Each structure stands twice: as structure tokens, then as C-alpha cells.
Amino acid sequence: MVLRRIQQAISEVITPSYIEKPPEFIGLPKAGTPKADNWRTLFSIFLPLALLSLWQEDSPVAAADANDMGTDYFKQDRTDFREYLRLHIDGLKANFPGFIQPSHHLAFHIHEGMELFSNVRNFWCFPGERLILRLRGIPVNHKIGELESTLLHSFCKGASFRRLTLNEDCPPLLKHCFLLIEKAY
């Protein structure tokens, strides 16, 4: 019932052109895999509308659910979040040595974001997720480390070229090439 109402909201709600709607048949295989922006739009626009349309005014859970969905976080809540996350990571280190991922480190920055911007919805990571999606699309043939060394090598070549063009004794032709590259990027 909820899924059908969400799909109905996606098909019937009119949104501004700059908002990309999720697939109309979200939740079904024919909708494909939603992207990060689709999830954000789904949870920030369509899901609340669908749930609100399902609530009856006299529903005993309507008021309780509304209170639970508040966006105010108190300092103690943020501190508790960081402490529980630290305990979770310590447990992972003790029980599964070597399992720690970069996302575990990133999770500690959620506390800082909550300090600055309130709840997580206010500092979502859509641009970072788009970058991850692009990086996932690069074929690596399961050869770990080659991509990283290629990226590092390319970065170092670019830095060396920039340093060369900033020297006073750089040939004029190279300086001209550098200016063309700067204009292009």
C-alpha cells in the first residue's frame, strides 16, 4: 500500500524542472538502480507526501510519528552519536582486525556536520556519491593499485609541468602551451 502510494506520488506530483524525479516504478525491478539524487528526492519530497496522504486525521499514531520525525538534535544527542560510533568501530577492530574501511573514518565527520548544519539531510553527500559512481565505472580488471598509481603519476606529471612553467627560464613556447591548457580547464 505504501509503495503504491509512493509510485502514485512520483507520477502525479509536479516538481520544478531542476528536480530529477526517481523512476516512476521505484521498488520494482524495471525501475533499475536508483542513483543518489533519486534517493534524496524520494526521501525529501515523495515519501513524506505519500505518508502524509496515508495518515488519517484521527489516527493515533499520526501525532506520535510527527514528534519522532522532528529535526532538532541536542548537543547530548550528537555527543552520544560520536561515542556510540567510537564503541562500534572499537568493536569492529577487536572482532574483525583489518576490516576498517574509509567510510568508518568518514562517519566520524557526521558529528561535525551535525554541529554545523543540524541533521544529516542538511549536509547530504550527493556530489561525493556522484564522484564515487564515476570512479566505480572505471574498468580496473581487478588489478588493485594500478589505478591509484596511474592517478598519482598523472598528478605528479601535471605538478612538474606547472612548476616548470612557473620558472623564469621556462621556454616561451611551454608558457604559451600552459596558458592554453589553463584556458581549456
For the chain, the domains span: 2-68, 75-136, 146-184
Q: Say if residue 38's pLDDT is above 80.
A: yes
In sequence order, the 6+-apart residues with CB closer than 8 A to the CB of 44 are 121
Q: What is the pLDDT of residue 17?
A: 81
Tens of pLDDT, residue by residue over 54-92, are 876 666 555 555 555 555 567 788 888 889 999 999 998
Can you read off the three cell numbers belonging to residue 91? 568493536
**Which residue reads 506530483 in cell numbers?**
13
> What residue type is 107 in one-letter code?
A
User: In whole angstroms, what is the distance from residue 111 CA to residue 77 CA?
Assistant: 10
pLDDT tens per residue, range 145-162 = 777 788 888 888 888 888
Distance CA(46)–CA(60), nearest Å, equals: 23
Asked if 40 contacts 126 with a C-beta cutoff of 8 angstroms, the reply is: yes
Give the mean pLDDT of 159-185: 84
What is the CB-side half-sphere exposure of residue 182 using CA atoms within 13 A? Answer: 10
Q: Exposed, middle or buried, 110 (CB in 10 Å: 0-12/13-18/19+)?
A: middle
Q: What's the pLDDT score for residue 11?
A: 92
User: pLDDT at residue 32 above 90?
Assistant: no
What is the percent of the chain where pLDDT is above 90? 8
> How confident is the model at residue 90, as a pLDDT?
92
Residue with cell 521505484: 26
C-alpha cell at 108: 566520524
Give the span between the Cα atoms of 145 and 154, in whole angstroms: 14
Q: Cell 505504501 maps to which residue?
A: 2
* Percent of the chain clearing pLDDT 70 (strictly above): 80
For residues 25-33, give the mean pLDDT.
87
- What is the reported pLDDT for 159? 84
Lowest average pLDDT, out of 39-53, 58-72, 108-122, 159-173, goes to: 58-72
Residue 178 has pLDDT above 70, yes or no: yes
Query: CA–CA separation, 133 vs 135, rounded Å?
Result: 5
- Asked whether the beta carbons of 23 and 32 are under 8 A apart, the reply is yes
